[in-house]
Amino acid sequence: MKEFEVKIKVVEATDNELPEQLRKLVDTARQATERSYAPFSNFHVGAALLLSNGEIISGSNQENAAYPSGTCAERTCAFYAHSTYPQEKFVAIAVAARDTSGEFVDDPVAPCGACRQVLLEFEKTSGQPVRVILCGKDRVFMLDSVQDLLPLAFVDFD
C-alpha cells in the first residue's frame, strides 16, 4: 500500500493586489450576482470568464421551482461563452456570491462539483490552464488551473 498527498497552490490576495485585467474580471463576477435568480436559496452567484480574445462573459445562477432544472453561474457563463465564441480559449474565471442577507460572502466561494467538471472539460479541450479566482468579501483565492479544484478528476474525454 502506498500513501501520497495531493497539494495545490493557492494565492490569497486583496482586490487591490490584482492586475487590472483580473480586477475587472472579479468586478464583473460580483456585478453578475445582481442578475441571479435565486428565490429559493437566496444565494446569489455570479461568474465571469476571460476569453483569449479579451472578451469577458458573465453569468449568474438561475434557480427553478422544478429543482434541479436551474443552473449554476459558472455553467451559465461557460456554456454561453463557448456557444458565442466557440474558437476562443478560456483564460480565467472569477466566481463571487452574496448570501441570504444580500452581502458578499466573507470567505471565497468555490464552484460545485458539476461546475468543476464542466470547466475542467473546457480547460482540457482548450489545451491550456484556466486560472481560477474565488472571491470573498475582502479577499480572493487564486489557483493556476481548474484541475487544482478537482485534483483526481476524470479527464479522459477522448
Q: Return d(Cα 103, Cα 83) in angstroms, integer.
A: 32
107-116 core/surface letters (b: 16 or more CB in 10 A; e: else): ebbbbeeebb
30, 39 contact by CB (below 8 A)? no
Q: Return d(Cα 158, Cα 141) in angstroms, integer.
A: 31
**For the chain, how many helices (H) and strands (E)?**
3, 6
| Active-site residue identified among 3, 55, 63, 74 | 74
Residue in 47, 148, 129 with CA at minimum distance from that of residue 91: 129
Please confirm, yes or no, whether 12 is among the known catalytic residues: no
Question: Which positions are annotated as active-site residues?
Answer: 74
